[in-house]
Amino acid sequence: MTTPFDEYRLIEDEIQKCMKCGNCQAVCPVFSVEKTEAGVARGKIALADAILKGRIDLDDPDLYDRVFNCLVCKSCMQNCPPQVNFDKIILAVRSAIVKKKGLHPLKRTIFNLLFHKKALFETGIKTGAKLQSLLTKTTQSGEGRNLRFPIGILDRKRVIPSLAPTPFRDRVEEKIICSNPQTTVAFFTGCSINYIYTGIGDDIVEVLKKNRVNVAIPKDQYCCGIPVFAHGDIDTARQMARANLDALEKTAADFVVFGCGSCAGAFSHEYIELLKGDNVYEPLSMKWKQKAVEISQLLLNKIDFVKPKGQIDEVVTYHDSCHLRKTVKVWKEPRELIKAIPGITFKEMSKPDACCGSGGTYNLTHYDTSSSILKNKINDIKKTTAHIVTTACPGCIMQLVDGIEQFGDGQIARHYITLLAQSYKKEA
């Protein structure tokens, strides 16, 4: 494979595109809090260049912290005149560090479990679900859980999500057939819907059934690989991408649908980058990129959408998932679906596309910066007077729930598809 994630020198052309204008500062969530050049894309590109030219060694003890102090939210790429693919640069640096120094043992163990020992991982999740009430208790709002005592980097005020007693894919049929179907889709659930927010999975299935769509939910799908890729473990991310493409191939579906912006981004962008030069899987990644649709795109652009009739009298706003908006370029369709629900008053935030500070695991490793970014988001939500903040990404929901508990006024965070499913249910 000859990608910049395998051969670091191949990133040189991308680095040279940066004209050092500093436009990225205006939109970088990390810079907005830390106000240092090291936090912004321009500073990190300078670092990547120094590595390339041998001025900084991959073993440099400060390098790791600087390179991982980034959400890979791609906001900088939306405001960059020469369109530098900054995500490629930062992931190439992370990959080069991992190749030289190896993965942190904890990450190696988790990623290994996620892919090579999935059955053991799932046993751990199910055991965790059974034992979670020993270590955690439900928050007053009932929207998440607090630790009973601090554990590691998690403090007691932090809200963490509940693990589902049974993973979504364990309790649903692998094939759901409708009469007179409009099309057949594969549902790529992703980890958050499978292990945590299983109700979103149910809502997606209900909405698909209501729209007469056959659904295949392959049991042999894995994590999309984005968190693994973001931590520089290219080999495991690539194996996950191949395994997921194999699982989809078996379904022979017309489309693959997502309820998670990051998973949708994996199929529409990252798999193409990861599998470049792979004789078998590069063509497959291209094929499934063409079939990849976020559920709102399927409903509004690919089939005859059944308009919801059930009344929901709520003021609602919408937070753009970075990966869905900035990678997949989807932002109009979820809003259109929300506005189609009778009774809803839709209020836009002043910066709905500003990152919430989640960044996959960034909110674990950089909680203070992540929390300051989140506070700005919650303040923006408050100004809309909305009681419900919707989004298209379970990772953002997790972050928003924590933010509402710390800085909010009792708002609730929901996937927008949940409102659509509720409207259909009310009408029935």
Residues forming contacts to ligand SF4 in the complex (CB under 6 A) are 18-24, 27-30, 40-42, 45, 70-76, 80, 82, 84, 86
36 or 127, CB closer to ligand SF4? 36
Under 8 Å between Cβ of 43 and 37: yes
Residue 98 CB, nearest approach to ligand SF4 (Å): 18
Q: Which residues contact 230 (CB under 8 A, 6 or more apart)?
A: 72, 91, 94, 360, 361
Nearer to ligand SF4, 28 or 413 (CB): 28
DSSP 307-353: ---S----EEEEEPPHIIIIIS---HHHHHHHHTSTTPEE---SSTT
Residue 74 or 145: the one with the smaller Cβ distance to ligand SF4 is 74
Residue (169 or 231) nearer to ligand SF4, CB = 231
Are the C-beta atoms of 28 and 40 separated by less than 8 Å? yes
Which residues are 317's β-sheet partners? 389
Q: With contact defined as beta carbons under 8 Å apart, do 200 and 78 qualify? A: no
CB of 333 to ligand SF4, least distance (A): 24
Least distance to ligand SF4, CB of residue 356, Å: 12
> Least distance from C-beta 110 to ligand SF4, angstroms?
23
Least distance from ligand SF4 to the Cβ atom of residue 25, Å: 8
Cα–Cα nearest to 225, from 238, 212, 208, 211: 238
Task: List Cβ neighbours of 378 (8 Å cut-off, separation of 6 or more).
Answer: 400, 403, 404, 406, 407, 408
Among 169, 257, 164, smallest CA distance to 211 is for: 257
The residue among 82 and 343 lying less far from ligand SF4, judged by its C-beta, is: 82
Give Cα separations from 83 to 63, 87, 91, 169 (angstroms): 25, 11, 16, 39
If the CB atoms of residues 80 and 419 are measured against ligand SF4, the closer one turns out to be 80
Name the nearest CA neighbour of 354 among 326, 330, 382. 326
Give 208 or 324: the residue with its C-beta nearer to ligand SF4. 324
| Residue whose C-alpha is closest to residue 281's, from 245, 335, 235, 229 | 245
Backbone φ, ψ for residue 8 (5° rounding):
-60, -35
CB of 29 to ligand SF4, least distance (A): 6
The CB-of-86 to ligand SF4 minimum distance in angstroms stands at: 6
- State in angstroms the smallest separation of the CB of 90 from ligand SF4: 7
Strands 292-294 and 388-391: unpaired
Residue closer to ligand SF4 (CB basis): 25 or 236: 25
Q: What is the three-class DSSP state of 277?
A: coil
